[in-house]
Amino acid sequence: MTARNRILTAVRRGLGGTRRPPAAIAAQAAMLLDDPEFIRPALVATTLPEAFELKAAVLGTTVERVASMDQMSGSVRRYLAAHALPPSLALQQSRDLTGLDWSGIETHASIAPDEVAALGIAVRGIAESGSLVIRSGADKPILLSFLPLHHIVVLRADTLVAHLDDYAAIMQGEAQPRNAILITGPSGTTDIEGSYVRGAHGPGFLHVVMVGS
């Protein structure tokens, strides 16, 4: 008897020794989708912003909440000052960002391989996992999410969804970008001698400015 046959025999034995008809298996699988709330994890808070913030904090993401976009640049100034960073920022060239008051901060569209800080906008946030959805576009260079040491992301509270499959459903009805990435916490690894290393594959620090409530 091959190893494969031994494994399958053990599985059948565990299932009672009888083969179930494929139609019965398909029917049971379909039942799981009839009530998605039965199989989806409960959120850690009653509101989406609170749930996102709590999950993000566990991952090492920092979050500051502001009431409106015109308060967002002040939040970025506070972040740069708190981390003793130079007043310089690679900025996504979206009109929502370029139209803000950046006095005292030098902003630039290009991003260097050793960029200290960059600021962009997430199209969605996922409360279940504290994840951000970033999409590429003419004014959304994807390297903003990979090259800087400090990645600062604007997230509008009204773009939050509860679960990943909620975003997947929304995505089906939208034009698809060339690149779409999910960011869940800052980059880190313990592959190197079991020691935690920040920024191994991307930004070592992730900061979210959540706008609205």
Q: Express each pLDDT in 189-207 by its tens digit.
A: 878 777 877 777 889 999 9
pTM of the model: 0.83
Q: What is the pLDDT of residue 153?
A: 98
Residue with tokens 């260097």: 112
pLDDT at res. 44: 94
Q: Is 148 helix (H, G, I), strand (E, B) or coil?
A: coil
If you average pLDDT over every residue of the chain, what do you get?
91
What domains sit in the chain, N to C, each tagged with a CATH number? 4-34 (no CATH), 41-211 (3.40.50.10420)
Query: Which strand (E) or helix (H) includes residue 18?
Result: none
**pLDDT higher than threshold 90 for residue 1:** no
- Which range, 15-24, 40-49, 189-198, is most confident? 40-49
Listing DSSP states for 135-170 in one string gives E-BTTB-GGGGTS-SEEEEEEEGGGEESSHHHHHHH
